[in-house]
Amino acid sequence: MALRLIFMGTPDFSVATLRALAEVGHEIVAVYSQPPRPAGRRGLELTKSPVHQAAESLGIEVRTPKSLKGEDEQAAFAALEADAAIVVAYGLLLPKPILDGTQLGCFNGHASLLPRWRGAAPIQRAIMDGDTETGMMVMKMDEGLDTGPVAMTTRVAITPDMTGGELHDVLKDAGADLIVEAMEALEKGSLTLTPQPGEGATYAKKILKAETRVDWMRTSRSVHDHIRGLSPFPGAWCEISFGGKPERVKLIRSQRAEGKGTPGEVLDEALKIACGQGAVRLTEIQRAGGKPMQAVEFLRGAKLKKGTVLP
């Protein structure tokens, strides 16, 4: 017997879970997603979220409230008479009437090993902090920020050069499988909930533009983790001068390397850059308005002399 579910999500990360729940036969009575946003070069076109588009392709009703705090929205949610709600990167806080608005509760697919990395940017923060493991968890939501009891966990290794984008793709598929498994257990009445431990909580704050610039004073490991954690979006960056004019360049990939010098110093003709301790080699970069390119291709048109110090 299939469950009657509400799905709440917005970005591409959430789409795999929505599709997986529909494919195994659950009845998705409505999808909630963030309202269409301005997009395009001039920002004049309103673009529906990836979840919104996926739901429409599945023939599911889509609701896009700006807030769930109003009594009318809460009543409309409850009127769906759902067994449970599934929340994956939705982007709105759920007030208590929403959390209580289904028969069995709201279940969140969260991309970390809770209580580590509660909050908005767990994928990027795990890599930027040098973690070697993360995972997906299914949690029953309460009024706190990712503080509810955990139902299921799957673990994923973070390899030394894995980027945020690569980890995103691994976790979105792992999360879809895990939530399908959790809903099967919920349907059978066998889903167990375990309170999160009181120690070890960390918070994955939203990535701010001010912190995306590379700080060459940091260790090579820290710089490398910073670059790969923010790749491909929003992207770590540094300034490189072309013809005496500084230009912001996005750093897509790097490798840790042997070497020492003034932090930011170009140590060879192949983009090895000194850090506060050790060095990194930039292997893939992107100039403003261009496409990502390998370092070899970049250096054909932009020579960086050994001894140059990047700011």
pLDDT 10s digits, 45-74: 889 999 999 999 999 999 999 999 999 999
Residue 150 host element (H or E): strand 150-157
Residue 167's CATH number: 3.40.50.170
How distant, in Å, are the alpha carbons of 5, 29, 83, 261, 266 from that of 2?
9, 12, 10, 63, 60
The reply to whether 33 sits in an annotated binding site is no
In a domain, 311, yes or no: no
| Token duo for residue 276 | 């506060």
Placement of tokens 């932090």 in the chain: 263
pLDDT computed for residue 43 by the predictor: 63
Bridge partners (DSSP) of residue 45 are: 39
pLDDT computed for residue 41 by the predictor: 64
193-234 pLDDT, tens digit each: 999 998 999 999 999 999 999 999 999 999 999 999 999 999
CA dihedral 22, 25, 27, 32 (to 10 degrees): -20
Find, among 25, 26, 50, 19, the residue nearest to 37 by Cα: 50
12 vs 40, which has greater pLDDT? 12
Residue 283's CATH number: 3.10.25.10
Same-domain pairing of 133 and 69:
yes
Mean pLDDT is lowest, of 61-70, 156-165, 241-250, 281-290, for 241-250
pLDDT computed for residue 198 by the predictor: 85
The reply to whether 18 sits in an annotated binding site is no
How distant, in Å, are the alpha carbons of 17, 146, 184, 250, 267 from that of 307?
50, 48, 61, 21, 6
Give the residue from 173, 203, 233 where a domain finishes.
203
Same-domain pairing of 99 and 222:
no
The reply to whether 115 sits in an annotated binding site is yes
Find, among 43, 143, 164, the residue nearest to 97 by Cα: 143
Give the residue from 139, 169, 203 where a domain finishes.
203
Same-domain pairing of 161 and 278:
no
Instruction: Work out the percent of the chain whose per-residue pLDDT is above 70.
Output: 98
Say whether 245 sits in a helix, a strand or coil.
strand
Please tell me whether the overall predicted TM-score, pTM, comes out greater than 0.85 for this model.
yes
The reply to whether 220 sits in an annotated binding site is no
Distance from the Cα of residue 15 to its chain's centroid: 13
